[in-house]
């Protein structure tokens, strides 16, 4: 066991857990916290780094110095209503999606739960410390009280601050104050007091990069919306959701979604999700269009779900290859970077191939994405299927259709399993898909492909900004 230079902390060699001792005076000099994570290696190292930067004569402000306000609106009673009388409501897990989709609508909510474009949002419970810049799309939604809001003093402040809070230094400060036994939380004053180095030239450079990434992400969202609208208009399909279904008891019946099914229509399935009335609407609308509708399986070259495998994670990214999980597919960016060993048994079965369509088959069924030039050759989970479309089925069009309610409800219809939902290759192949002329498919599909390209560009530029900022701060500290 040895002492880390300059910290006063005794540490054991690397292993499966961190073990260290500390001076008792630290408990009283800081926040009187007894949880070890408050004094963990990253937190201690970040504190030392800020001290070294200050000694170089560089100014250190707090988050609150760069903001007009740092707050959360407080808990409020959510009165869920129909989309026709309420506003779309997003939980943090929905707000961080590439294209946020509200599942619930609320009314009689406090006005300060709304956000404005370019505000910085930080998750304050559960997975603490995830940061997001509010897009124009989020202005039209009611956002959960589980998001801390930071109103910037100016747009470049928020770009720099966003990058800083996404560095290892910023993340250490964001998460060190979390509290709670089952669900972790942080409060606005924890965020407001985080130290931030002030280097004007660097702030401007980093801010410009982050804002360009932000612009690309907004462009991706707009392209997704355009592709969805074009799908409906070109195929002559109406938009649908469950508010179009009359359950028993009308509005009251929506609470338990009561409906009847004829015995002759059971098809040996007794699970209610298989017989949802909206699926009848989908069949009705698909049967009413001029475009030929076919089973998806007839339009695929191949579909493959690899077997389960033991994931050989590595901490040093130089020794591994990025790993894509099902929970990553729907996100605006990849919040956590995980790596698997470069080589392991049957590793080629899990490599992602450019152009493949990915469909989640276990857990949250139906999330879809496409393997781009950036994610090609990454390793991918065994919990999503890889679809290779036939030559007469455009990849972008297929992704757009599966992304739409027409594809999503059909995918979820077939799920089975008690605790964890599952989906098989055969069930994916049973999805009904309209197959219009190739010119129509390409017109729709190119919007979707461009959207995912913009998302990747935004993530790469943002990562570059964060890494540059980390590097510059380290160099300043050790001059």
User: If DSSP states are collapsed to H, E and C, what string results for 166-224?
Assistant: HCHHHHHHHHHCCECCCCCECCHHHHHCCEEECCHHHHHHHHHHHHHHHHHHHHHHHHH
Beta carbons within 8 Å of 163's beta carbon, 6+ residues apart: 206, 207, 209, 210, 462, 465, 466, 469
| pLDDT tens, residue order, the chain (479 aa) | 344 433 444 344 444 556 666 666 656 655 666 666 665 667 778 888 899 999 999 999 999 999 999 998 888 888 888 888 889 999 999 999 999 989 889 988 888 889 999 999 999 988 888 999 999 999 989 999 899 999 999 887 899 999 999 999 999 999 887 877 677 888 999 999 999 999 999 999 999 999 999 999 999 999 999 999 999 999 999 998 877 777 776 555 556 678 888 888 888 888 888 888 899 999 999 999 999 999 999 999 999 999 999 999 998 888 999 999 999 999 999 888 899 999 999 999 999 999 999 999 998 888 999 999 999 999 999 999 999 999 999 999 999 999 999 999 999 998 888 778 899 999 999 999 999 999 999 999 999 999 999 999 999 999 999 999 999 999 988 87
Q: Which of 68, 244, 241, 269 is nearest to 161 (CA)?
A: 68
**Residue 241 and residue 373 in one domain:** yes
**Residue 238 and residue 251 in one domain:** yes
Domain assignment present for residue 215? The answer is no
**Residue 146 and residue 65 in one domain:** yes
CA distances from 455 to 153, 221, 327, 379 (A): 27, 9, 16, 19
CA distances from 135 to 167, 219, 422 (A): 21, 10, 33
**Residue 94 and residue 231 in one domain:** no
Q: Which of 255, 230, 223, 277 is nearest to 449 (CA)?
A: 223
The token pair at 402 is: 């599966």
Strand ranges of the sheet holding 87-90, from the earlier edge strand across to the other edge: 79-81, 104-107, 87-90, 142-143
Domain assignment present for residue 187? The answer is yes
Domain assignment present for residue 163? The answer is yes
Distance CA 43, CA 172 (A): 5
Domain assignment present for residue 14? The answer is no
Distance CA 232, CA 244 (A): 16
Structural domain count of the chain: 2
Distance CA 450, CA 429 (A): 26
**Residue 157 and residue 29 in one domain:** yes
Domain assignment present for residue 70? The answer is yes
Residue 123 has phi, psi (to 5 degrees) of -65, 130
**Residue 123 and residue 263 in one domain:** no
Asked if 368 contacts 359 with a C-beta cutoff of 8 angstroms, the reply is: yes
**Rounded (5°) CA angle 415-417-422:** 50
The token pair at 423 is: 């989906």
**Residue 159 and residue 245 in one domain:** no
Distance CA 264, CA 258 (A): 19
CA distances from 466 to 133, 165, 171, 356, 461 (A): 14, 9, 12, 29, 9
**Residue 229 and residue 178 in one domain:** no
Distance CA 330, CA 98 (A): 6
**Residue 112 and residue 185 in one domain:** yes
Crossing angle of helices 200-235 and 395-403, in 10° steps, is: 90
Domain assignment present for residue 4? The answer is no
Q: Which of 353, 433, 358, 354 is nearest to 397 (CA)?
A: 433
DSSP reduced 3-state for 422: strand
**Residue 452 and residue 473 in one domain:** no
E-assigned strands of 347-448? 357-360, 368-370, 379-380, 384-389, 432-434
Domain assignment present for residue 5? The answer is no
Long-range contacts of 345-352 (CB under 8 A, 24+ apart): 345/309, 346/309, 347/379, 349/306, 349/307, 349/309, 350/306, 350/309, 350/379, 350/380, 350/381, 350/382, 351/377, 351/378, 351/379, 351/380, 352/324, 352/376, 352/377, 352/378, 352/379, 352/380, 352/386
**Residue 440 and residue 469 in one domain:** no
CATH number at residue 440: 3.90.220.20
Distance CA 177, CA 311 (A): 31
Asked if 399 contacts 445 with a C-beta cutoff of 8 angstroms, the reply is: yes
Domain assignment present for residue 207? The answer is no
Range of the domain at 74: 20-200+459-479
**Residue 139 and residue 61 in one domain:** yes
């Amino acid at each position: 066991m040895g002492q880390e230079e300059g910290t006063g902390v005794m540490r054991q060699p690397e292993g499966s857990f961190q073990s260290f001792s500390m001076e008792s005076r630290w408990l009283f000099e800081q926040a009187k916290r007894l949880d070890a994570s408050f004094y963990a290696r990253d937190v201690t190292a970040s504190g030392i780094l800020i001290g070294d930067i200050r000694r170089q004569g560089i100014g250190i402000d707090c988050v609150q110095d760069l903001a007009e306000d740092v707050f959360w609106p407080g808990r409020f009673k959510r009165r869920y209503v129909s989309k026709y009388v309420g506003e779309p409501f997003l939980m943090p897990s929905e707000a961080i999606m590439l294209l946020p989709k509200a599942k619930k609508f609320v009314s009689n909510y406090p006005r300060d739960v709304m956000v404005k474009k370019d505000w910085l949002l930080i998750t304050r419970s559960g997975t603490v410390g995830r940061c997001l810049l509010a897009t124009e799309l989020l202005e039209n939604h009611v956002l959960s009280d589980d998001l801390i809001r930071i109103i910037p003093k100016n747009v470049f402040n928020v770009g720099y601050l966003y990058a800083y809070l996404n560095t290892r230094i910023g993340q250490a400060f964001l998460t060190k104050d979390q509290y709670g036994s089952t669900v972790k939380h942080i409060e606005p004053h924890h965020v407001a007091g985080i130290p931030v180095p002030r280097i004007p030239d660097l702030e401007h450079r980093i801010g410009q990069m982050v804002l360009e990434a932000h612009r690309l992400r907004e462009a991706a969202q707009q392209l997704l919306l355009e592709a969805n609208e074009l799908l409906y208009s070109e195929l002559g399909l109406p938009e649908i959701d469950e508010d179009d279904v009359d359950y028993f008891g009308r509005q009251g019946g929506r609470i338990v979604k009561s409906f009847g099914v004829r015995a002759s229509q059971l098809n040996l399935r007794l699970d209610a999700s298989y017989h949802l009335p909206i699926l009848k609407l989908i069949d009705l609308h698909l049967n009413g269009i001029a475009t030929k509708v076919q089973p998806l399986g007839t339009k695929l070259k191949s579909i493959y779900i690899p077997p389960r495998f033991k994931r050989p994670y590595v901490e040093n990214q130089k020794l591994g290859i990025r790993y894509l999980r099902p929970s990553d597919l729907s996100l605006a960016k990849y919040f956590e970077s995980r790596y698997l060993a470069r080589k392991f048994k049957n590793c080629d079965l899990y490599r992602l191939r450019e152009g493949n369509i990915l469909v989640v088959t276990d857990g949250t069924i139906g999330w879809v994405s496409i393997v781009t030039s950036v994610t090609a050759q990454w390793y991918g989970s065994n919990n999503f299927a890889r679809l290779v479309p036939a030559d007469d089925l455009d990849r972008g069009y297929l992704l757009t259709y599966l992304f739409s309610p027409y594809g999503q409800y059909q995918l979820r219809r077939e799920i089975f399993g008690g605790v964890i939902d599952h989906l098989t290759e055969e069930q994916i192949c049973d999805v009904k898909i309209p197959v219009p002329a190739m010119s129509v498919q390409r017109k729709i599909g190119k919007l979707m492909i461009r959207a995912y390209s913009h998302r990747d560009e935004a993530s790469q530029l943002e990562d570059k900004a964060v890494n540059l900022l980390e590097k510059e701060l380290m160099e300043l500290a050790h001059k």
